[in-house]
Structure 1
Amino acid sequence: MKTAGQKINQSNTLLLISSIYTSLTKAEKKVADYVKSNPEEAVMATVTDLSEQAGVGETSVIRFCRKLGFRGYQEFKLSIAQDLVNVPSYSNVEIEEADDTLTKARKITLRNEMMLKNTLDLINPADLDRAVKRMLAADKIYIFGVGSSGITALDLHYRLMRIGMNVEAHRDSHIIAMSASLVKKGDVVFGISTSGSTRDLVDPIRQAKANGADVICLTSHMRSPITAHANTILLVPSREMPTEGGSLSTKITQIHLLDILCTLLSQKKNNASEALEKTARSVVDKLY
C-alpha cells in the first residue's frame, strides 16, 4: 500500500483519484468529485476554499490528500497543476447519435488513445520491475480471471507460454478455488480483475497468499479488496460503468500493460527467443 508522499507517477493524480474513489469516505468523495469536476479551481484554492466548495471540513481535505499519498495540501496542488499541463488537447469524444460512421470511428480512436496515455501515466516502473523479477523466479505461474478478465488471462497465458514459462490459466471459479488451495511458496499467482472486488477471485487470491505464493494483481482500483492480498499491484485506468463490464476500452489498457510486461520478460528470460522459435515452428505446417 502506498505511504504518505509516495506517488505512482508525477502526472497521474487525477487518474489516481478515480482508482481509489470507491475506498473514500463520504466526505472524501465530495472532495474528489469537486476536484475532478473543477481541477483548475482546485489548483488556485486554499485548503479552506476547497473545503467550503466541497461542503466538508478542512480535515477531510487533508485526509483526502494523504490518502492519495501526499504529505500535505500544497504537494497535492502541485501535482494537480502538473496534471493539467500534461492533459492532451483532445476535443469532445462523446459519441452522438447524429454522428456519421467516420466521426464515430474517430471519436472511439481518440478515446482509446487517451486510455493508452492514461495507462502510461499510471505505470510505476518499480512495480513492473518487481513483477518481472518475481515471475522469472517463479516455480510456476498461475493466472486467474473470471468473466471478461478471464479472456485477458488467456491472452497473458499465451504470451508467457510462447516464451517458455511454466504457466497455466483458469477462468472457472471452482477450478480457480481448487488451484489456489494447492499453490505453494515459490509460485506466483497473477490475478486479473478490473473492479478488484470479484469474490470468485478475491477469496482464492487470499488463500494463495496464505499458502505463501507471491501475488500480482492487475486492476483499476488501487484500494479494492484484491489489492489487500497482493505483493505487487499493476494499475490500469478504466471507464467502465456498472452496466459496461468488460468494455473494450478497459481491455485495451490491460492488454497494453501486459504487452509491456511480456516484452520486459522476453528480454530478461534466458532462452526466450529459442522458445519463441520452437513454438513458431511447431505450428508452421498449420498454415496454407
Structure 2
Amino acid sequence: MNIKDFLTPKNQPLSKTDEKIFKALKKYPSHMQLMTIQKLSADAHTSVASVQRYCKKLGFKGFKEFQFEFRNFLNQQNSGTNNQSNYLSNYIKVVNDFKNIDSTQIKSLINDLLQARITYSMGIYYSGLPARQLSLALKDLNKISFSASDYITASHWTRLVTKDDALVVFSISGDESGLKKYLSEALKKTDKTYLITFNDDTVLKRYFKHIIVLPGKAFVYNSSMDPQSLVLLFVETIIEQAINLTNNK
C-alpha cells in the first residue's frame, strides 16, 4: 500500500474539503508525528470537524486513531531506508551548513535586535518555542521584548509597533495563512521585520524586509522529528553573537 491508497477512502469519493486535507497530509506526511488536529485543519484551510469526518471516511473512529495508524504506516514505510545513523549524519550536515547562512542578514538582524526599542517575536506550532527563546534571551540582555505563539495575541501588537521596533516571525514552512490577516498592518510600521524559515519559496516574503532562510529544507520536510531544535540552535547562535558584540563595545 502506498500513501495515496492509505489516505483515500475505499468506497467513498473525496469531497473538495477532503481533497484539501488529503493534499495537506501528502505534502508533509512526516509531520504527522507531532501534528495536532488544529494544525492539520489550519494547513488544509478547513475546520476541525471536517478533519474528523475525513478520518471517519477512512474507517477510523476519529483523528487520534487515524494519527496512530498513520504513524505506524509511515514508520513501516521508512524502516527499510531510514536508521538512526542516517538521521544523525543528516542532522549534523544541516548544522554544519549553518555557517553558509547569509552573514549580511545575520549582522542586520543582530544590530536591529540590539538597537530596537522593543522586539516582538512570534511563531506558532513548531515555531513557538524559538520565538519565546529569543524574547527571553533579549530580556537577559536588558532589552524589552515580547513573544506570542498565536495570531490572536500577536494581533494586539498592531497599535503598539513603531518604526523603532523589530518584528521577528519564525515559520518552519513559510506558509502560515493567518499572517496576512493578523500581522500585515504591524509589519508595515517598521523596516526591522524578519522572517526566519526553511522555505526559500515562501509566499510570505513580500511582507518582510528581511528573509533569513535556514539550511536543511529537504531534511526538515522529510524528517519525522520535530524541526524546532534546529531553529533553537539558530537562535542560540544569534544571541551568542549579540552577547559578544555587546561585551566588546
Could you say which residue in structure 1 is the equivalent of 2:163? 185
Residues 270/201 of structure 1: CA separation in 2 closer, same or farther (3 Å cut): farther
1:228 correspondence with 2:222: no
Q: Aligned partner of 2:236: which letter?
A: D
Q: How many aligned positions are there?
A: 171
Determine the C-alpha separation between the residues in 1 that align with 2:223 and 2:177.
18
Residues 202/220 of structure 1: CA separation in 2 closer, same or farther (3 Å cut): farther
Could you say which residue in structure 2 is the equivalent of 1:137? 115
Could you say which residue in structure 2 is the equivalent of 1:254? 231
Determine the C-alpha separation between the residues in 2 that align with 1:258 and 1:115.
15
Whichever of the two has the greater Rg, that structure is: 1
Determine the C-alpha separation between the residues in 2 that align with 1:217 and 1:203.
16
Could you say which residue in structure 2 is the equivalent of 1:155? 133
Residues 119/232 of structure 1: CA separation in 2 closer, same or farther (3 Å cut): same
Determine the C-alpha separation between the residues in 2 that align with 1:131 and 1:268.
13
Asked if structure 1 preserves the Cα contact closer than 8 Å seen for 2:158 and 2:186, the reply is yes
Asked if structure 1 preserves the Cα contact closer than 8 Å seen for 2:166 and 2:190, the reply is no
1:111 correspondence with 2:93: no
Determine the C-alpha separation between the residues in 1 that align with 2:236 and 2:140.
13
Unaligned runs of 5+ in 1: 1-94, 273-288
Asked if structure 1 preserves the Cα contact closer than 8 Å seen for 2:168 and 2:193, the reply is yes
CA RMSD of aligned residues (A): 2.8
Determine the C-alpha separation between the residues in 1 that align with 2:78 and 2:174.
31
Residues 96/174 of structure 1: CA separation in 2 closer, same or farther (3 Å cut): closer
TM (norm. structure 2) is 0.60
Determine the C-alpha separation between the residues in 2 that align with 1:129 and 1:161.
19
Asked if structure 1 preserves the Cα contact closer than 8 Å seen for 2:191 and 2:209, the reply is no
Determine the C-alpha separation between the residues in 1 that align with 2:148 and 2:191.
16
Determine the C-alpha separation between the residues in 1 that align with 2:96 and 2:209.
25
Map 1:28-177 onto structure 2 (within 5 A): 97=79, 104-121=83-100, 123-177=101-155
Residues 224/96 of structure 1: CA separation in 2 closer, same or farther (3 Å cut): closer
Determine the C-alpha separation between the residues in 1 that align with 2:165 and 2:189.
10
Determine the C-alpha separation between the residues in 1 that align with 2:192 and 2:78.
46
How far is the alpha carbon of 1:98 from its aligned partner?
Answer: 6.3
Residues 262/203 of structure 1: CA separation in 2 closer, same or farther (3 Å cut): farther
TM (norm. structure 1) is 0.53
How far is the alpha carbon of 1:240 from its aligned partner?
Answer: 3.7
Could you list the per-position Cα deviations for residues 185-243 of structure 1 after superposition, in whole angstroms to 9, with x for gaps in the alignment? Answer: 10100000011120223444422222235201101122312221222221113234499
Could you list the per-position Cα deviations for residues 117-146 of structure 1 after superposition, in whole angstroms to 9, with x for gaps in the alignment? Answer: 23333x011110111111111000000111
Asked if structure 1 preserves the Cα contact closer than 8 Å seen for 2:168 and 2:194, the reply is yes
How far is the alpha carbon of 1:149 from its aligned partner?
Answer: 0.7
Residues 125/241 of structure 1: CA separation in 2 closer, same or farther (3 Å cut): closer
Determine the C-alpha separation between the residues in 2 that align with 1:128 and 1:262.
11
